[in-house]
Structure 1
Amino acid sequence: MIATIAATSAAALLVTPAVAALGHRALRRSRNASLMKITTRNGIDEQGFVRIGGIEQWISIRGEDRTNPVVLELHGGPGASTAIFGPRTRSWEKHFTIVRWDMRGTLKTLGRSGPEGAGEMTFDRVHRDAIEVTDHIRTRLAVDKVVLLAHSYGSAFGLRLARAFPERYSAYVGTDQNIHDAGRDDSVHQALLARLRAGGKRKELAAVEALHPDERRWTPRERAMHAKLLATSDPLTLGTMKKTVMGSLWLSPLHSLRELRLFLKGMAVSEPVAQATAGCDDWADGTGFELPFFVFQGEKDVLTSPALARRFFDDVQAPVKGFALIEDCSHFAAFRRPERFLELLLTHVRPLVAREPAGTTSA
């Protein structure tokens, strides 16, 4: 979903005048590296490759106290690693052990294997990888269950994992929550048409109007064009992509200049993964979950509709559930306002998974 606009933003970074840009980058990366240091006695800071699904895949485990609840993130894209946001989410690691995984075809995992060695790039293959990663983390950290935190396209995996394996996960948290309904809801598409008309974007409007009414029949190129226009037609989303996403990639102490290009390449390599969900129906798959279920969504998200996420949430049956909108945010709400997201985790999720007195959830 974000590959095309990310490529545009990152390309601008890569052609920025070298001396000034690289000097500023080195200084900021050094500061971020200092920020990322974990020095607590019972902390953990591990990054490396683990054999998952027959290939070496990159996994990071970080936190200030190993007794904290473990959170496994599923990144979006597909192919858009969340490891780039480490400095922005450093405060999360005081309260949780955060596990970040570059899926096959993504960033550091892609750098290790190359496109030819990425293996089967399908939804089912990555889904099986996610189960294997979950079990690896449970064994490595000696925990029965982990919190499943799914971002954007990662939430397509997240819903299926949470529904099928409540014995592995202590809670589900979706953000930038994707809801697939076999194409019944076209509100995101209609809102795009309205923005293009209001902005006088005649060429872009004609291209969108020419698309087949059933988005399940769009080609990958048409889907990419639509996703680009969703983001570029909305100033809040475009600004977040440039500053929060590309800015984080540029200043990440964990990523080299070569890996800026790998970030883009990974989303291209991972495009086939998304094709499998074009006709999916999350309602038909089931709204019953045997674990606490939460959705924390950007209130102005133009890519993954808050209204559609709320409709699905309202139909969910779960032991505990909570829904919250993150103010002044479109997509990437958790990373645009990481302290607000942490507040929601501490209020609604951690008391349940850490066996502490539970706060009040919104419904």
Structure 2
Amino acid sequence: MLTAIVTASAATLIAGPAAGMLGYRQLKRTAHAKKLRITAPRGIEEAGFVRIGGIDQWISVRGDDRANPVILEIHGGPGASNHIFLPRTRGWEKHFTVVRWDMRGAGRTFAAHGPDGQGELTLHQLYEDALEVTDHIRSRMGVDKVLLVANSFGTVTGLRLARNHPERYSAYVGTDQNINAGGRDHGAFDALLARLRAAGKRKDLAAALAMGPDPTAWTPAQWAAHAKTVTTSDPLTYDTMKTVVVRSLWFSPLHTLRGLRSYMHGMTFSKRVAPEAVTIDEWADGTDFALPFFIFQGAHDVLTPPAPARAFYEAVTAPVKDFALIEDASHFASFRHPDRFLQLMLTRVRPAITGRPADAAQSSPADRP
């Protein structure tokens, strides 16, 4: 949901980096690459293209023990691959095998084919792709079910998958959870207006008022502009963008400068699918889930506020369900505090999918870049 601000911030770095900045970047990238090596005898570390939905799409599989539960991540954006966060989440791979997939329009999938080679970019196609990826991973890892973990824009597809296919997924975990209500919920918009008025940002306030509170009436450009205004109007969200997201991009050991440009072009390309999502009504689609259901939300998230997520959670019926707030976190809560997110996964989710009590000693300290 943050295409405009990510692109603007990272482009400043890429456009004219000083020699010293490039040298420091290379040192950090080298250290991250070393940190990412998996040497455990039962580990798995592989990445490559898999034919999904008629095009080759990039999938990585990483973990220290193949016997651990398998996570399939559904990334956000749209078009924002989670591969940039690998160094921050290295600790997760000690307890889970983590599958990261660059959807069509994102990351290396976008880079490999360009804008004309992405095929149909719709929510329905992303959903169909996700089912293919799921079945590929189930076969590759020899498991009946995978643990579905979705963040931000990816939670739109994540809820569809969890609601419709409990036979494929052991549980659903949503973070930065979107709860679309067909354009009826104006709480985040009203909160934005209040912040803009308090800060005296008259130009931004006028632009927001001109757009109106109904996101179903916005163009893709307005949708992106709104996300940028929300982000820059909230200090915690803006700090997270700079210290977590942009730093993860800049120091990613998987991305050259050319790769970073392609990453951002993919986000710009993919924003066309965003307005389709806000027309969805999650309440109308249903609150019955035949699998364990979890939401771990940033306590101060202004992009996907915790109140609608909590209200939806309260209405959900599921065999097991749980909700937790991650303090000192806005959007990207799981990546700002990967250690806290891991602790929730170990103490609340893993027992529900394995049938064994949590071992608090399993948790590990944060893996910071």
The bucket for the TM-score relative to the shorter chain is over 0.9
Task: Name the structure 2 match of 1:296.
Answer: 296
Cα distance, 1:359 vs structure 2: 8.6
Tell me which amino acid in the other structure corresponds to 1:172: Y
Give the AA of the match of 1:159.
Answer: L
Report the Cα distance in structure 2 between the residues aligned to 1:242 and 1:126, rounded to whole angstroms: 28
Counterpart mapping for 1:191-206 below 5 A: 191-206=191-206
Offset from partner CA, 1:256-288 (integer Å, 9 cap, x none): 111111121111111222222221100100000
Which residue in the other structure is 2:92 paired with?
92
State the alpha-carbon separation in 1 of the partners of residues 166 and 214 from structure 2: 34
Question: Distance in 2 between the 1:179 and 1:226 partners?
Answer: 17
Shift of 1:44: 0.1
Identity of aligned residues (%): 60
Number of equivalenced pairs:
360
For 2:9, the equivalent position in structure 1 comes to 9
Matched, 1:62 2:84: no
More off after superposition, 5-14 vs 84-93: 5-14
> For 1:221 and 1:255, how far apart are their aligned partners in 2?
27
SS of corresponding position for 1:181:
coil
The letter of the residue matching 1:155 is T
Once residues 174 and 36 of structure 1 are traced to their aligned partners in structure 2, the CA distance between those partners, rounded to angstroms, is 25
Write out per-residue CA displacement over residues 28-87 of structure 1, whole angstroms, 9 at most, x where no aligned residue: 011101110100000000011001001010000000000000000000011001110000
Equivalent position of 2:221 in the other structure: 221
Partner of 2:50: 50
1:94-128 CA-to-partner distances (Å, cap 9, x unmatched) read 00000000000101001111111111111111110
Query: Following superposition, which runs of at least 4 residues in structure 1 exceed 4 angstroms of deviation?
Result: none
Deviations 1:194-222 (Å, cap 9, x if unpaired)? 11111110111111111134221111111
Q: Partner amino acid for 1:319?
A: P
**Distance change (3 Å), C-alpha of 1:105 and 1:261:** same
Name the CA distance, whole Å, in 2 between partners of 1:32 and 1:9.
Answer: 22
The residue identity in structure 2 corresponding to 1:117 is G
2:245 maps to 245
Find the counterpart in structure 2 of residue 18 from structure 1.
18
Give 1:27-42 correspondences, 5 Å limit: 27-42=27-42
Q: Distance in 2 between matches of 1:358 and 1:160?
A: 28
Partner residue, 2:324: 324
TM-score normalised by structure 2 residue count: 0.96
Instruction: Confirm or deny: 8 A CA contact 1:351 1:359 kept in the other structure.
Output: no
SS in 1 for 2:277: coil
Contact 1:171 1:293 in 2 (8 A): yes
Runs (5+) with no aligned partner, structure 1: none
| Other structure's SS at 1:22 match | helix
Q: What is the alpha-carbon distance in structure 2 between the residues aligned to residue 318 and residue 289 of structure 1?
A: 5
Return closer, same or farther for 1:213/1:89 CA change in 2, 3 Å cut-off: closer
**SS of residue in 1 equivalent to 2:330:** coil
Shift of 1:358: 5.7
Distance across 1 between alignment mates of 2:288 and 2:99 = 26
Q: Secondary structure of the equivalent of 1:47?
A: strand
Q: Which residue number corresponds to residue 270 of structure 1?
A: 270
Distance 1:248 1:359 in 2: 30
**Aligned alpha-carbon RMSD (Å):** 1.2
Distance (Å, rounded) in 2 between the aligned partners of 1:19 and 1:277: 42
Q: Any idea what SS the aligned residue of 1:240 has?
A: helix
Q: Which runs of 5 or more residues in structure 2 are unaligned?
A: 361-369
**3-state DSSP class of the match of 2:260?**
helix
**Does the 8 Å CA contact 1:297/1:326 hold for their aligned counterparts?**
yes
**Letter in structure 2 aligned against 1:51:** R
